[in-house]
A and B are shown apart, each in its own frame.
Chain A
Amino acid sequence: MSTGIQATTPTKIKKLSPTELQILWADGHETRHIAQVLRGLCPCASCRDEMTGVRVILPIHIPDTLEFRKIGLVGQYAVHFDFSDNHGTGIYSFEYLRELCPCEACARKETKKP
């Protein structure tokens, strides 16, 4: 969907509320992520089988009251979150966070894909 380095380079990451995260991208796009969804799509090895890629945890397993506790950068390519359920092992690459953008425009592009 999103192409180019601009589309996957965040310029600002901000916690709008305990459950909502805003990411502004270098291409001007804005993404809003909900803690429940990001936690449910955690890319770490215990939430997603390392060998098969099958998800062990899904957003439906996570209460919608789940909150972001801490947000931090991983080097220059990813973000990690400490969630209110004490989980914090996922490394969310900038590409992954953009890929998961739930906005209508991104969702439409996603379904267009063959």
Chain B
Amino acid sequence: MFNKGKNGTVSEGQVLDVLKKVQDPDLHKDIVSLGFIRNLKIDNGSVAFDLNLTTPACPVKDQMRDEAIALVKGLAGVSNVAVNMTAEVRQAPQMDKTALKGVKNIVAVGSGKGGVGKSTIAVNIAASLAAQGAAVGLLDGDIYGPTMPIMLGIEHPPKSVGSRMIPIDAAGLRFMSMGLLVKSDQPLIWRGPMAHRALQQCLFDVDWGELDYLIVDLPPGTGDVHLTLAQQVPLTGAVIVSTPQDVGLRISLKTLRMFQQTRVPILGIVENMSYYICPHCDSRDYIFGEGGGKRAATELGIPFFGEVPLDVAIRKQADIGSPIVVAMPDAPSSKVLREIAQKVAQQVSIRSFDAPILEVE
């Protein structure tokens, strides 16, 4: 159906036709229809193109690339295939064009109860995405107990230009925390409206610039900050962090229901403190029970992102202000966290892709 190229060489049409066999397993469409193929160049037997994915943290990018190369190489007259992997995170359709115009996706990280390691997970997800080439912002929205400045080793308050605050660069992220606006040993004793205003400031009065992902770490539970966030910005989705224990999970479900009521898509559940690896004999000990998070995710029909072990290295790196995924990228726990970050990015891509568009006139 396509014209044969001159002198027996392959044509653009033939290349695109064969590339249509490569499916994006998440978006359930072929990579040609999705517009992923860019800058296709054919020079005699050499074929080169960009494969432009929806996130640099795509967990199946190697698989798609290898499949594409194999198929094009199989065409008669092709001797060499060069694929350049690129990524362009798509904007969530309902994203406000005015207030946070450079931010493509906002993802909340929440938990039901405190102390489940929500902030640790959020920092490591954000740092993983940044390490894989995405532009990532991190907002510590836990106004009552901001721990993130410690985890990122930041003590100084943010600078301001005019009325806008400049986020602080740390671990490859642009970071902002309520904890930076008050003295670190001072408790925050605020009523709801103050919390509301503080979060608004951290969202809208910060010069976030261009971001693929803005990760917002929420306080535990279901309170003012959650509602403000759900009302003020169109969240691409929320990640729930829980421990395997039944009690932790049951409370997390409340947070989950709150997001559902405000129509914030639940991207998935991360189970933290899943097991402890004995440093002496390497055996796994499921201190808080096994498989609770996975069961809950299956019951609720939402993705399960993975089990993060109780690992001294994760805690130590957080305490010295250098997240494990950045400081020790090859550690087993870093691998687990990186895979979780990839699954988050994957779900964000899926959500941005099929989210309905609502017109208001």
Contacts and interface: CB of A to CB of B under 8 A. Distances in A.
Interface residues of B, number: 17
Given A75-B231, A75-B235, A77-B262, A14 B358 contact: no
A15 B361 CA distance: 6
Interface stretch (A42-50, A66-74, A104-112): A66-74
Contact of B232 (A13, A14, A75): A75
Contacts of B361: 12-15
B360 A76 contact: no
A39 to B, nearest CB: 18
A17 interface: no
B183 interface: no
Nearest to A13: B360
Interface string A40-61: 0000000000000000000000
Interface string B217-258: 000000000000011111100000000000000000000000
Given A76-B262, A76-B263, A77-B263, A71 B360 contact: yes
Contacts of A74: 231
Interface in A10-30: 10-15, 26
B198 to A, nearest CB: 18
- Chief secondary structure at chain B's binding surface: loop
Given A76-B264, A77-B263, A12 B359 contact: yes
B94 interface: yes
Interface centre among A11, A72, A77, A94 (most CB of B within 10 A): A77
A76 B235 contact: yes
B256 to A, nearest CB: 15
Given A73-B94, A75-B264, A77-B261, A9 B356 contact: yes
A75 B357 contact: no
Contacts of B360: 12-14, 71-73
Interface string A74-110: 1111100000000000010010000000000000000
Interface of B: 94, 230-235, 261-264, 356-361
